[in-house]
Structure 1
Amino acid sequence: MQIAHSTRRALLASTLALGLGGCGVSYVSPLVRDTASDNVDVVEITGQSIAFANSAPYTPRGLPEVFSRTAGSGGGLRGAGALPEAPAVPQAQPGPLDLRPPPETTPPTYRIGVGDVVQLATRVARPTGEAALGEAPAGELRQTYTVRDDGAIAIPDVGAVEIGGLTIEEAEQRVFERFIETGADPDFSLEIAGFNSQGITVGGDVAAPTRVPVTLNVPTLDEALTAAGGLQVTTPEFASIRVYRDGTLYQIPLADYDRDGRLRSIQLLPGDSVFVDTAYDLDRALAYYTQQINAASLRRTERTAALEELQAEVGLRRDALDEERALFRARDELGAVPRDYVYLTGEVTQQRRYALPFGQQATLADALFDQGGFETETGNPSQIYVLRATPGEEDVTAWHLDARSAANLTLATRFELRPNDIVFIEEQPITRWNRAFQQFFPSLVTTASSAVD
């Protein structure tokens, strides 16, 4: 029995020795440096070498022209008809702008209007001790009144006094006369505390369209635009500042406004409307045609038909663009569109081919992290390679990135990829041993068990 046990131990030892002896051929993993030959040149990726790597000529494939076309451009569609012609109105299309500034004028004296707030200060008997609540230290009682719709203010013990349409001096005279008529002490002062009845509207391409109140000092054109936050013009070559006053439309091209300081100092008048208008673009095409059709005073039925035709044309063009773009995407998904690819292998999250984008360069970082990066548990961050073949030759350049220092990953954001590059990440040494052992161990146990039996 003892001899039988010794024989079994010897057989088990022999089996282990044979298995371990065969371990070197039980698992083979791809490496770069160990298999490098005369036609493989390993080059470190550094800030200096990146410039040489990126010098390899490559022009990214471009998207079809349909992706740069808008619904407002291009020729007519079959069955859709042409866009309605613009009515014959002055300056219907962008072109040179005439300078038509408003005439020089002097603002009239401010006249009180509906909604204005006036403050009336009257003398009161000084009470003994401290001043009563609401009284000024000098024995004055200050009260505010809002001008009603009928132009009057209602003063206690005096009654309604109509001051709408009067200057401040005329209003003081009217209140004085009313005080004398009612026997009140005519020792008072009157001033405007809130200017609400008159204003200048500012709109168009400004930061904050607003209504600028007119006070005793009427603002200039520059002051009104500043109150609206300043100009917000994207196409200054076609922009103009238009002032509407008493039924007349004045025009100041923005180029003249910027060049001539006198235009910025134009004196506005109460009731003026200032509008900053810019050139036409695709976003405003529909609004432009709508305005021009309305401006031509077409009959209602003709105007409706023209607008419907315009909307149908723009809608058909938009649908056609969407259909062409969807068709291109479908062909791309089916692989019917020529693309440039980079191949990811080794210890990446997903071994696959990465399509280089249209119209722009892609970097090593783009390919690595597009779908999750690489396996940090099994992948060796010190052995990241971009394998690039020399066109027409058998030579291969292995661009090596050592990412044990995470800061070196910034180099990956600058390294540009080229068609048919292979991004390869080696496995960790411990990973290589574990995988070899996982393949070897089941067969070892089976062999050993057979030997023992």
Structure 2
Amino acid sequence: MGIGDVVLLATPQTGSTVEQLTGLLAASNSRQGYTVQDDGTISIPNVGRVQVSGMTLEEAEAELFQRLVENQIDPTFSLEIAEFNSKKVSIGGAVTQPTVAPITLTPLYLDEALSAAGGITVEDQDYASVRIYRDGTLYQVPLRDLYSNNGLRRIQLVDGDSVFVDTAYELDLAQAYFEQQIRISEFRQASRVAALNELNSEMSIRRNALGEARDNYMTRLELDSVDRDYVYLTGEVDSQARYPLPFGKTASLADALYSNGGVPTETGNVREIYVLRGSPDPREFGAVTAWQLDARDATNFMLATRFELRPNDVIFVAEQPVTRWGRVISQITPSLITSAASAATN
């Protein structure tokens, strides 16, 4: 199927119970024709646009069945092609009635196309020929050979073919006819190329604009000129730092701790991991809520993967008692050494 074809959709027609019992609706269907639009679709009420161009009738039925099921509509229907307008063959020259013959589900052969134009009207068959123009190539069949060779009469025509019957005295007319067909074909091709170039240019402009916007955003992000929310890590952590909350999703206590190297087990007290959160109410300035996590038990640490952080939270890890004592000793020892040295000098 192609653009311009008319498809006929038949669906069961509902009626009263009496009509159904008497069988009056047994062969009654609601039939509606739809023309394949320029975008290759047909527009069906309550279903929307369904792509059918380039499909066989069976493929279109399968696609329509799926769309009806998706929209919770009874998928009982039949589909057929009512008019063939997308594929055609033109017949001209020395024929009774120059015409355009559609190509339907049944193949179209040369003798049938000539019959559709009312037959050939030349008087002298020795000087007549049938010319077929297809995809930029011209094929010529002498008329006497056409009548004597059944295989030539059964040449199958395809979409876009042009058939012209002429005599030796009408070659100029045939040439003008085919030149016109060539110009039409070239014009359509040029239009397609121009449309494709325009589309590529527009896509390139949009792609460059998106790339430039992305680069500008990354530069602003590197220069810290983008408004972001942070969580602050302090105490016995690998390094005192601020953890940027990710865009568009939440972050947990575990995310912040392990992005900074985790808790140093030599100095950090895993029993005392605190999250401090100030009150959002300006009237409660200074009010702080604190949560403590005892991570000695691995099952307790699972809570860290579920605890959702908020902007300006403070994560504090206390020091181990031995660490505190060691630091006191390290501060006292230099003083003792200095005092002993001064006494020895005196």
TM-score tier after normalising by the smaller chain length = 0.3 to 0.5
Q: Which one scores higher on RCO, CA 8 angstroms, separation ≥ 6?
A: 1
TM-score, normalised to structure 1, is: 0.36
Per residue, is there more helix in 1 or in 2? 2
Per residue, is there more strand in 1 or in 2? 2
